[in-house]
Structure 1
Amino acid sequence: MSVARSPRYAVLALSIATAFAASAVVAQDAAPTQPPTKATELQTINVTAEKRVENLQKVPISLTVLTPDKLEAFGEAGDGVLQLASRAPSVYAETSYGRIFPRFYIRGLGNSDFDLNGSQPVSMVYDDIVQENPILKGFPLFDLEQVEVLRGPQGSLFGRNSPAGVIKFDSKKPSQETTGYAKASYGSLGTANVEAALGGALSSHWSGRVSALAQHRDGWIDNNYTGKKDALGGYNDRAVRAQALYEDGDFSALINVHARWLDGSATVNRGNAIELGSDTFVPGFNRDQVTQDGRNRQHLFTWGSNLHLNWNIGDYTFTSITGLERATMYSLGDVDGGIAVAKTPAQQQWVTAFPSETADALPHDRQITQEFRLASNPQDQWNWQVGTYYFNEDIAIANYDYNTLNNHALDGFAVQKQRTTAWALFGSTDYKINDDFDIRAGARWSHDSRDYHVDRFLSPIGGGPLSLAASPHDARWSGDVTGTWTLSPNVNVYARIANGFRAPSVQGRVLFADTISQAKPETITSYELGLKSTSWNNRIRLNADVYSYTMHNEQLTAVGGDINTTRLINARKTDGYGAEFDLEGYLTPNFIVTAGGSYNHTELKDKDLSVAICGAGCTVLDPLNAQGNALIDGNSLPNAPKWIGTVTARYGIPYGNSGEFFIYTDWNYRSEVNFFLYDSAEFRGKPLLEGGLRLGYNWNYGKQEVALYGRNITNRRQIIGAIDFDNRTAFVNDPRVIGVEFKTEL
């Protein structure tokens, strides 16, 4: 902790102490209330994984639910949606853009493409609206009911671009009951978080809810080249959501409006940070310092609205879901992460082969979606639903390059434009053949077309003006069939066969190339055998599965390398298999533990597939072809850890009539990952174990709480990503953050 920041801690501590005392007085003066029943068994978790409300234990899908208490702990240090990395079996996430461009992987399947036009095989759905562009996927997590992670192809009900799975976010909805909360925290690095929500009845038919989030971090990384202290690493991230719900008999309408504003640093690249021949930091590396001659800043504004309409018509429910999402952003970074000319001999180790300073922008991104769905109301034997879906996106992307040595003058400019139209017809059915056997099946017909155009106006490498276009399109079936056997009231087993696809993609980063690249549609067929069980008087819940899949024409992105560009390629075949489990249990009424883990094996099978190797000097472990490219047949997929594990534990000690001291800890682990398609000694991340700790006291039956927290409490320093075209540039995880938090509920 620096001296300059210590007064803030004193003010914060005084504020929290005052709030603590005031809340205690209110609690003492208030009339006695009926204490809530102490949970001694696991509560039923309802999910909407198949677009209807069902008990988690009855849904035959590999599925993890992250509840608000877990999300609250994971995000205490200001982490965005990337906090979900390794927090559920088979789920990993990374980014090279900072807080605005998460890239998710499920069962090893993902996409490391950093283009704003990049598609991903993990679909993210926020309040039933698909967030297609990667920029939209970074919306902060606050005031959520829960997060559902659906593993494996979801080709029937979610369709295109979900061959790996779906991550589904559900906001807390308005109700006639007055509810709300407010919480504030402050920690090291000047990390501050304020979050609040308030909802209740507006009239006999209308209810509303408003929630907001503000996150801040001071700059904490010094730039030794400019001499500026705390120059990088800071941000101001704000988001708001307003909802109104109308209910009248068999009709309801839910209106949702949301927005996000972000200003701060882009990812801070660390030039020459990786030791040649090793995946370790070079001597003298300091996470709190950089030596850079380029600029770094980031701005984002997104907003959207959606309308959910439901009519209950006798034995059926008709649903209409309309969504609009818009985004603008600009992100500028010192890509090489170092300097061109050293001012002192000590700076010589940070000199890079050539300066690279680039920016990407979204002048506009507009997405419209519409879904109509007709479903049977819940029946004992037979349930079904049918629907239509429409998607339309209009996006413009600007790519810039700046001459660092010429006062950062613009020397490269290109604009990409794309219009995407997709539509689908889908249906699913669930039929209970007898008391012990149930079968589910679904199918979807999808059509996808894109009109893509890119214009280069200025090239940093001497290329002239350029104009290129492409119009990929595709149409195909996807679906699933699942059988579920009820072995006892508390044990189900299921077998599932599912397929899915990702629509064709196009890539056109033409600042450093004269061509665009396209990828054919990828398809996947997956087999899964699972168990869902509860035991010990409903105090233990264990869900587990094994799976295997084969993917054809997997879309891959060859990033960087010695050709200094990206290109899309298709791998002839990719095989994967593994196992996953989720465990939750009350060991005592005051001690609850959760655990999850996975083993994921991935293997590329394409003897002729090759990619460019590093341009910065590295130790390539793959065989090379005649052109000097790496042959990647047999390699695992990038950013695909074999092992993922997560554990949480909470122990409470009752105190007085309504209070409790508690300790909560969470730990997540992922094994080694490769950053690129080719294998090298340098560009990989060592196994990573990070933990969090929370010590606190709550009173008034949990309605008020004060706690000390720590994230990355072991202060682990780890390489979590890299750039390979100019030098051995690294991305690094955040240091330990320790702070204090106060929360109150209505």
Structure 2
Amino acid sequence: MKAMKRSTLATLINATLFSAVAGTSFTTLAADEQAPVAKSKQLEVIQITARKRVENAQEVPVAVSALQGDSLDAYSSAGMDIRFMNAKIPSLSIESSFGRSFPRFYVRGLGNTDFDLNASQPVSLVVDEVVQENAILKGFPVFDVARVEVLRGPQGTLFGRNTPAGLVKFDTVKPSQDFDGYGSVSYGSRGAVDFEGAVGGALTDRLSTRVSVLWQDKDNYIDNRAPGFEQKNALGGYTDQAARIQFLYEGNDFTGLFNYHVRDMDGKPIPFYGNAIKSGTNDLIAGFENDVVYHDSASRATQQVESQGASLKLEWDLANHTVTSISGWESAEIYSRADIDGTELSLAESADGIPDQDQYTQELRLSSNYTGDVNYQVGVFYFDEALTIENYSYNAANNGSLNGYVIQQQDTKAWAVFGSVDYTVNDDLKLTAGLRYSDDEKEFSANRAFGPLSGDSGAPLSIERDVSDDHVSWDLSANYKINDDVNWYARIANSFRAPSLQGRILFGSEVTVADSETVTSYETGIKSDVLDGQGRVNATVFYYTMDDQQLTAVGGGANFNRLLNADKTTGYGFELDTEWVLTDELNATFNLSYNKTELKDNDLAVAVCKQCTVTDPINDSGLAVLDGNSLPHAPEWISNLTLRYTKELAGGDFFAYTDISYRSEIDFFLYESVEFEGKSLLETGLRAGYNWAEGDYEYEVSAFVRNLFDKQQVIGAIDFINNTGMVNEERYIGAEFKVKFY
């Protein structure tokens, strides 16, 4: 078995690197042998801030993909939340059991299925240079965004704790002295309305501002047919509102940027379909209807989210250095109540809430701007979060009366010092080394006032636990310019995720702890511009080992989580990211990734569902042995293809855009079973329209469809005592009008 895996890995490495280098060599040779052909279009140079300074993405020794422009607009249409990025970027998947809040990110197979509101994740989200730690903060709507960057692999040196898998980074459109703005409105299936807009410009010759707003609304469309609880249009709707205001001051050697943002969402949680999965298969039951549920408590289902935050970035340009200070504050509240088992059997109606959450961050860094061979960054970082969580249980048979209540309190303090050095060996070779020391402390308490279970399991209970750890993260990388169009890079990186606590004691009596996980990653790749600027081929191969990976044993017939550490986890694969100008009128992108993950722990075992067909070995305690399993929600294959056609027509441009995304099979839980293996998912989107300009205005009208073939299947599950599933979004058809002004 081991010999075969080494052979597979070697084959993947050779094939990926050969395809990238061979393709580059062929096109370079062809260009040398043929007379130059004039091109009317070239791929734009993508500038990113993956290393906290503006750089050409092709020259950064990090596996990074960026979304911007037309692709970002097309993907996020149809009132989509942040999950629109699922399977749109190599090795990235996103899911949620809460719906439009609490997204869970997975990069190279590493993520966290934990549904408790204090869950930590190994993929960090950074918005406008401020980390969004709590999962509810990660669900902030995406609008007026200039660029999305996904950094794959450990990012612990510059971005700190809880980034062993990678980082998702959003940069919103910033104020400028130029007056501009836009407004767009769309209408689509199920009465969905999506409006967003922004306007900005100069207030004085040094001060500018930008105001951005979003309003999304969708009608309830899911009928409840539970006998005695019948209700038309009980679930499925939401109203989501958000706004952002920014002020930018630009002095001679000083800039200051203030950002305030707010969100208010009132809607319904993601619908749970009880007994939706046919026993002995992973098919939906015959006659499944996505707009029908059978709940005894659908009328009480609700999800309310409020969040706000502010940041202040101050930057001083000195003679040979730049000093940057970033202060951030984020706050979130949520209350989400649902019929978890998805049936009329009164088994599990519960709610989770955050009545109070405050996060404060401060980063101060010094960056050199020398013209010589050596440059560096050094900095300090501080993080402070106070989080209160409430867990509720309700007796659905008694009109939803409260029969259980737990309050959790978690206070987290972390600080770090970091540094990174870039050394230019010669015109072709650049080396980078980074180091970060992090210290992390958590104080946790869980108090059960009363519970729904009988006896001691429902009696008052109070548990306190504290955890702490420190770690030195590091990375070494090299970037070698093979020629003007081809760069080779290699990177070794080490990072960690701080200890986690879990105290969902509403249905249990245990607070579990997961020790810190550490990862060491090795990767190498080629970044190349080909066809005289008409093509771009980036390819990466990687291998990582993770010690003491933090895992969450979700479910197993119970409504609580248990934290575990796996002795060792390995992962390897490749990523291919390409862009092409096929003709003056046709552009394309294609990406592909392969990720193979494996748990290696002979003693690791978890409880399983009561009614499904488990395929793992079962030990003498009735637990599933996990050794050799892949990680949950970790598809081996992710691929995406886009085509954009543009044609001049009657003084404007007709355009048509299509994207096709694919992810292979996934396991929903740590254990493997027939019913809880998600099928491969293929989704297609289309967008077509016409744009034109008149004076200082640009107009666009378009029609679009998501999930063109209306393919619906199970994408998540609850494993209490019935085969409860969650399904992907149905086909969505809409039309949009947009105007830009200058």
**Mapped contact 2:277–2:285 kept (Cα < 8 A):** yes
Aligned AA (1:144): V
- Identify the residue that residue 631 of structure 1 maps to in structure 2: 625
Amino acid at match of 1:436: D
Q: Is the 8 A contact 1:563 1:612 kept in 2?
A: no
Deviation at 1:284, TM superposition (A): 2.7
Q: Secondary structure at the match of 2:70?
A: helix
Cα drift, residue 70 of structure 1:
1.7
How far apart are the structure 2 equivalents of 1:195 and 1:146?
A: 17
Cα distance in 1 between the residues matched to 2:662 and 2:224: 31
- Comparing 693-702 with 459-468, greater Cα deviation is found at 693-702
| Cα deviation digits, residues 65-99 of structure 1 (max 9, x gap) | 01132222112121100111101000001110110
Identity %: 51
1:350 paired residue number: none
More off after superposition, 633-642 vs 69-78: 69-78
Q: Is 1:68–2:63 an aligned residue pair? A: no
Give the superposition deviation at 1:39: 6.0
Which residue is equivalent to 2:612? Answer: 618
CA distance in 2, matches of 1:274, 1:563: 19
1:726 Cα deviation (Å)? 2.6
Please state if 1:241 is matched with 2:234: no
1:386-405 map, 5 Å:
386-405=378-397
Question: Which consecutive residues of structure 1, in runs of 5 or more, have no partner in the other structure?
Answer: 1-37, 341-353
The residue matched to 2:557 in structure 1 has which SS? helix
- Cα distance between partner residues in 2 of 1:96 and 1:179: 38
Shift of 1:328: 0.8
Q: Distance in 1 between matches of 2:270 and 2:607?
A: 24
2:674 is matched with: 681
Q: How does 1:499-538 map to 2 (within 5 A)?
A: 499-538=494-533
Distance in 1 (alpha carbons) for counterparts of 2:577 and 2:286:
41
Q: 2:319 aligns with which of 314, 322, 325?
A: 314
Q: Does 1:650 align with 2:644?
A: yes
Q: Is the 8 A contact 1:591 1:650 kept in 2?
A: yes
Counterpart-to-counterpart distance in 2, 1:251 and 1:485: 34
Partner Cα distance (2:153, 2:259) in 1: 29
AA aligned to 1:78 is G
Q: d(CA) in 2 for partners of 1:377 and 1:207?
A: 27
**TM-score normalized with structure 2 length:** 0.93
Q: Distance in 1 between matches of 2:469 and 2:259?
A: 32
Query: Deviations along 1:599-628, whole A, 9 cap, x unmatched?
Result: 00000000110000003x010000111110
Give the SS at the match of 2:134.
coil
Give the C-alpha shift of residue 322 in structure 1. Answer: 0.1
Asked whether the equivalents of residues 706 and 731 of structure 2 are also in contact (C-alpha less than 8 Å), the reply is yes
Partner of 1:335: 340
CA distance in structure 2 between the aligned counterparts of 1:48 and 1:454, rounded to whole angstroms: 40
Q: Deviations over 1:671-716 (max 9, x none)?
A: 0000000000000110100011011011118921100110111101
Q: Is the 8 Å Cα contact of residues 68 and 144 (structure 1) preserved in structure 2?
A: no
* Deviations 1:522-553, CA, capped at 9 Å, x for gaps: 00000001111001111101111000000000
Letter in 2 for 1:576: G
Residues 1:439 and 2:440 are matched in the alignment: no
**1:214: Cα distance to partner?**
0.6
Provide Cα deviations, 1:320-345, integer angstroms capped at 9, x if missing partner: 000000011100000010112xxxxx
Residue 379 (1) aligns with residue 371 (2): yes
Shift of 1:188: 1.1
Is the contact between residue 269 and residue 335 of structure 1 (CA under 8 Å) also seen in structure 2?
yes
Aligned to 1:323: 328
User: What does 1:539-618 align with in structure 2 at a 5 Å threshold?
Assistant: 539-615=534-610, 617-618=611-612
Q: Which residue does 1:30 correspond to in 2?
A: none
Partner SS state of residue 83, structure 1: helix
Cα displacement (A) at 1:227: 2.4
SS at 2:582 equivalent: strand
**Do residues 726 (structure 1) and 715 (structure 2) align?**
no
Distance of 2:468 and 2:343 partners within structure 1: 42
Amino acid at match of 2:251: D
Q: Which of 77-86 and 392-401 deviates more?
A: 77-86
From 355, 359, 370, give the equivalent of 1:363.
355
- Partners of 1:162 and 1:66 in 2: CA distance: 20
User: 3-state SS of the aligned residue for 1:82?
Assistant: helix
The amino acid that maps onto 2:334 is: M
| Alignment size in residue pairs | 695
**Residue in 1 that maps onto 2:281:** 278
* Aligned residues of 1:602 and 1:636 also touching (Cα < 8 A): yes
2: CA distance, partners of 1:70 / 1:420: 38
User: Aligned with 1:700: secondary structure?
Assistant: strand
Q: What is residue 301 of structure 2 aligned with on the other side?
A: 296
How far off is 1:378 after superposition?
5.7
Contact 1:259–1:303 (Cα < 8 Å) also in 2: yes
Q: Is the 8 A contact 1:272 1:729 kept in 2?
A: yes
The residue type equivalent to 1:236 in the other structure is T
- CA separation in 1, counterparts of 2:690 and 2:121? 42
State how far apart, in whole Å, the 2-side matches of 1:485 and 1:623 are. 48
* Aligned residue in 1 for 2:49: 48
Residue in structure 1 matching 2:262, options 234, 259, 263: 259
1:735 counterpart residue number: 730
- 2:397, 2:95 → 1: CA distance? 31
The residue type paired with residue 97 of structure 2 is: S
Cα deviation digits, residues 437-487 of structure 1 (max 9, x gap): 110110000000000011000110022100001110001100100011110
Aligned residue for 1:639, secondary structure, equals coil
Cα distance, 1:230 vs structure 2: 1.6
Secondary structure class of the residue paired with 2:642: strand
Does residue 161 in structure 1 map to residue 156 in structure 2?
no
**Equivalent residue of 2:416, what SS?**
strand
Partner of 2:615: helix, strand, or coil?
A: coil
Alpha-carbon RMSD: 1.2
- Structure-2 separation of matches of 1:697 and 1:69: 14
2-structure distance, mates of 1:220, 1:564: 28
TM-score, length of structure 1 as denominator length: 0.92
Question: Aligned equivalents of 1:326 and 1:378: distance in 2?
Answer: 39
Equivalent position SS for 2:285:
coil
